[in-house]
A and B are shown apart, each in its own frame.
Chain A
Amino acid sequence: MTGNMEQSPISTDAIIIGAGPVGLFAVFELGLNDVKCHLVDILDRPGGQCAELYPEKPIYDIPAVPVCTGAELTERLLEQITPFHPHFHFGQMAERLEKTPEGKWRLTTDSGTILEAPVVVIAAGGGSFVPKKPPIKGIDAYEGKSVFYSVRKMEEFRDRKLVIAGGGDSALDWVINLQPIAKHITLVHRRDEFRAAPDSVMKMRALVAEGAMDLKIANITSVLGEGGMISAVELHDEHKAHHNLACDRLLAFYGLTMKLGPVAHFGINLHENLIPVDTATFETNVATIFAIGDINTYPGKMKLILSGFHEAALMAKKVFAYIHPDRRYRFQYTTSSSDLQQKLGVSEAA
């Protein structure tokens, strides 16, 4: 990624914020209507909640799919939308939305990608996935200076006395990757068991056995330091004993949580962190901005994947009118329309 350098704008028909199941299916419905899309998601892969929260768990209420896991649903949606060649911008937060002088929407992400399109579809679900922050008093003052929840630059940790907190794959992967360059690493986890790839757990235990790093079974209860620079963490072990562990960087990995995030400042109406929409078109109070899936609200709304799929179809019809004002909307079935089949790449003419 190129840091915060602004890049030259990419033009498309519709910008989709969120590549969860509903954002993915929106590509399909828009594609049938000759609307091209770019998608932005803060996660590093598609699937939203299905990929992040329950890839291995079964879903039983997708029409005509008696059972599939979150990961399988995502894979199938990706397969279904391949004919439309969507462009994905992963690992990026959709941060700022503004109107260009030509009346298009300009979306800027936190890594400087700029997308311009006449239409924006917000499929932000339960919000953007961001790291969980420990409820430690005063920790905000250290964030981004000496306390981090992700690794952007490994160099930040070279020759540091580092504490890594957590017991999952992220914590262990970074223990293993940073151990060679850090001055010293202590892994702090609440129990002596890890929910991570067995191979990583073995590697970490080997490093501990060699004396190349420390493992402490405890909770971090406070951070000490000054001017944003951490000097120690206070640990609380299972015998309720407190003690301080000196360090100059803390990396905490407690998993992800969903937060509405920048969408709150896009200038559209919100109701309890959800976006009210017109149920005929799923347009928000701002013309040409749509909201579908878990992020929207209307009388009778149910936060189900199938509702989001339905919403995508109706949204696409209205978007067609914006993108192709000179063309008449034609209601067609994929079963019988040679035009749609050509778009899907399944007709003989294709």
Chain B
Amino acid sequence: MRIYCTDMEGTEKELVATEEWSVMEIIREGGIPILAQCGGSCACATCHIYVDPAWKSKIPEPTEEEIGMLDGAFEVTQDSRLACQIIFNKNLDGMKIKLGPGSI
């Protein structure tokens, strides 16, 4: 299974995705630098990504905690999420995401 991640320079990379891993871990394992300072605890907002609108409906809605934590990211839009709070499953195979400001 795969996800496609566009980095801050605009280069898209195909990443091997593992079920039950967070998207943050998949990005990090895939060799794309991502700060993720709190290690996936929804406590830093340095794993900010934009999810391709076509894929948004397949992901559970963000929790209140995640929405609050996004206050610490920049240029937050309707597509903004914290990568550590999205757990990959087979329905997300092929998902497209983009790193957001504050993540590197």
Contact = CB atoms under 8 A, between A and B. Distances in A.
B87 interface: no
Interface in B38-75: 38, 41, 43-46, 67-68, 70-72, 74-75
Nearest to A56: B43
Contact of B43 (A57, A189, A190, A195): A57
A148 interface: no
A53 B71 contact: no
Interface of A: 49, 53-54, 57, 126, 132, 134-135, 166-168, 189-191, 193, 195, 219, 221, 254-255, 257-258
Contacts of B35: 257
Contact of A168 (B41, B67, B71): B71
A193 B70 CA distance: 12
Contacts of B41: 53-54, 57
B65 to A, nearest CB: 10
A255 B35 CA distance: 15
Interface residues of B, number: 18
The majority secondary structure among interface residues of chain A is loop
Given A54-B43, A132-B102, A135-B102, A254 B75 contact: no
B76 interface: yes
Contacts, number: 49
Nearest to A126: B37
A67 B102 CA distance: 31
Nearest to A303: B39
B74 A134 contact: yes
Nearest to A53: B43
Contact of B37 (A191, A195, A258): A258
Contacts of B94: none
B69 to A, nearest CB: 8
A58 B70 CA distance: 21
25 contacts: A49-B38, A53-B37, A53-B41, A53-B44, A54-B41, A126-B37, A132-B72, A132-B102, A134-B74, A135-B74, A135-B101, A167-B71, A168-B72, A190-B70, A190-B71, A190-B76, A193-B67, A193-B68, A221-B75, A254-B71, A255-B45, A255-B71, A255-B72, A257-B44, A257-B46
A165 B35 CA distance: 23
B28 to A, nearest CB: 14
Contacts of A257: 35, 37, 44, 46
A193 B65 CA distance: 12
B75 A219 contact: yes
Given A54-B38, A254-B74, 14 more contacts: A53-B37, A53-B38, A53-B43, A54-B41, A135-B74, A135-B102, A166-B71, A168-B72, A190-B70, A193-B68, A195-B68, A195-B71, A257-B37, A258-B37
Contacts of A167: 71
- Of A135, A166, A167, which is in contact with the most chain B CB atoms at under 10 Å from its CB? A135
Contacts of A190: 70-71, 76
A190 B71 CA distance: 7
B42 to A, nearest CB: 9
Given A57-B43, A195-B68, A135 B38 contact: no
Interface string B61-98: 00000011011101110000000000000000000000
Contacts of A126: 37
